Amino acid sequence: MMFFTRSSILLFLCLIFMNVPSALSQRADSENDYKNLLNKYEQRMSDLERKIRELESEKEKEDSASELDALLLEVDSIKDKSGDESSSVNRVFRSDARQQQQLNPEISMTGDFAGITSTGNNDYFDDLGDFTFGRNKFYLREAEFNVVAPLDPYTRGKFFFGIPGTGGGNIATIIEEAYMEWLNLPLGMNLKVGEFNTQFGSLNRWHDHGLPQYDRPRALTNLFGTGNFGGVGMSGNFLLPKLWAHVNELDLEIVSGGDGFSFEDNYENVVGVAHLKNYYDLTSNAYVELGLSGAHGYNNIAQDLKTTLLGIDLTYKWVPIGRSRYRSTEIKSEFFFSDRDVPTGTSSGFGFYSFITNRIGPRTLVGLRYSYSDMPPNPNTAMYTVLKGEDEWDITPTIDFWQSEFVMLRFQYSYVQRSYSENDNTFFLQSVWSMGPHKHEAY
């Protein structure tokens, strides 16, 4: 066994502690060398990257100059060839027929057929605007031709020609609408000029074949007759800034002529019309439209008699996202107030209608309409003394079957109750077929 003395142990420890500072110093020197080497490497990499960028920039300049020289040489060669009369040039001629087809207007045609039978037997009902074409008969109400085409990037033209079925060999073409539109003008305006149906209320502009029922509500026919209220003039549509609704639109129109009922059908008669539409999104599946309308003009120019009309229209529509082909609901109502000058003073009237249409399948819609109307006296008709102060209302269920997007069949029943004459029950069978790009458009 080996024994160490105290002195030997102390000597050994002294030797160890004497070597520690030396080792620490060597380690610090190694770390400093590493940092210096890393800084030199990073500096060299930065220099190399700068040189690479300079070389690439010089290369791009050389390529651009070479390309420019090549283009200049090509231009000079083309000039030389064009100046040489003896040089032959091969030309390829192409027909413009395919491009000219794009200038052709879009033409659509619509047929509107109906069979009507009724228990009523008073002839003058037809003149008052009940069903336009009488009772207990088949009738081609109208064959309509729609011609639509863009005239240039700023304007569009529309023509609607109607040929009513007369039951005989005579054919008379009626211009229902013919107008041109300037689109996307400053201040969010579209401008229309020509002959058109006015934007009074929600349903007046609709053509007969696009109506939600075969006939127009009595609240409308007792104001405007069985047709539309329109004329020849100008119309401005303004998309207003977002005010109290999500979308606000204003239509201002001035037309010459009238409907022959509330306004004299005379081109010297100038009628002003205004309509304000307010659109509200309720949910992602439903919205509401609220409209306010007004019209003012002469009902008899010679006697200086005027008519003022006011209207309120309300539309609610529910269309579930992803199921619009199978389910939807629409509710539409309009209220009308009329104030008419007559030789004996002033006559006022009120009328309204409301209907609901519910889609119950991809091809089937069911609907129900209720309509009420005072009978505003018109001194120009022989029924003036009979209709003064009278009223009428009707209730009308409908079933629409869409065989396809081209063909629609409608079954309709109407019960009409009148305060001035007998009531009646009327059954309708309607078929509407259409061809062309604009199928079954309401207007």
On the question of pLDDT at 128 being above 50, the answer is no
Tell me the per-residue pLDDT of 403-428, one tens digit each, with 9 for 90 and over: 998 999 999 999 999 888 788 899 99
With cut-offs at 50, 70 and 90, classify the pLDDT of residue 79: low
Residue 199 β-bridge partners? none
Of 265, 212, 191, residue with least CA distance to 442: 212
Do the beta carbons of residue 355 and residue 211 sit within 8 Å? Answer: no
pLDDT of residue 93: 53
Tell me the per-residue pLDDT of 147-171, one tens digit each, with 9 for 90 and over: 999 998 899 999 999 888 765 555 5
pLDDT of residue 132: 45
pLDDT of residue 16: 54
With cut-offs at 50, 70 and 90, classify the pLDDT of residue 44: confident
Give the count of beta carbons closer than 10 Å to the beta carbon of residue 180. Answer: 14
Higher pLDDT pick, 39 / 341: 341
On the question of pLDDT at 361 being above 90, the answer is yes
Higher pLDDT pick, 89 / 308: 308
Environment class of residue 34 by beta-carbon count within 10 Å: exposed (0-12), middle (13-18) or buried (19+)? exposed
pLDDT of residue 182: 95
On the question of pLDDT at 74 being above 50, the answer is yes
Do the beta carbons of residue 408 and residue 432 sit within 8 Å? Answer: yes
On the question of pLDDT at 359 being above 50, the answer is yes
Average pLDDT, the chain: 82
Most confident listed range (32-41, 118-127, 252-261): 252-261
pLDDT of residue 3: 46
How far does Cα 366 stand from its chain's mean position?
Answer: 24
pLDDT of residue 275: 98
pLDDT of residue 338: 92
CATH number, domain 104-435: 2.40.160.10
The mean-pLDDT minimum among 174-178, 274-278, 289-293, 333-337 falls in: 174-178
With cut-offs at 50, 70 and 90, classify the pLDDT of residue 129: very low
Higher pLDDT pick, 35 / 220: 220
On the question of pLDDT at 284 being above 60, the answer is yes
3-state percent breakdown (helix, strand, coil) of the chain, nearest 5: 25, 45, 30
- What kind and span of H or E run contains 59? helix 6-83
What's the average model confidence in pLDDT over 255-260? 85
With cut-offs at 50, 70 and 90, classify the pLDDT of residue 131: very low
Higher pLDDT pick, 291 / 71: 291
pLDDT of residue 217: 93
Higher pLDDT pick, 420 / 11: 420
Say what percent of the chain tops pLDDT 90: 45
The mean-pLDDT minimum among 47-51, 291-295, 395-399 falls in: 47-51
Distance between CA atoms of 29 and 21, rounded to whole angstroms?
A: 12
What's the average model confidence in pLDDT over 275-279? 96
Residue 193 β-bridge partners? 180, 234
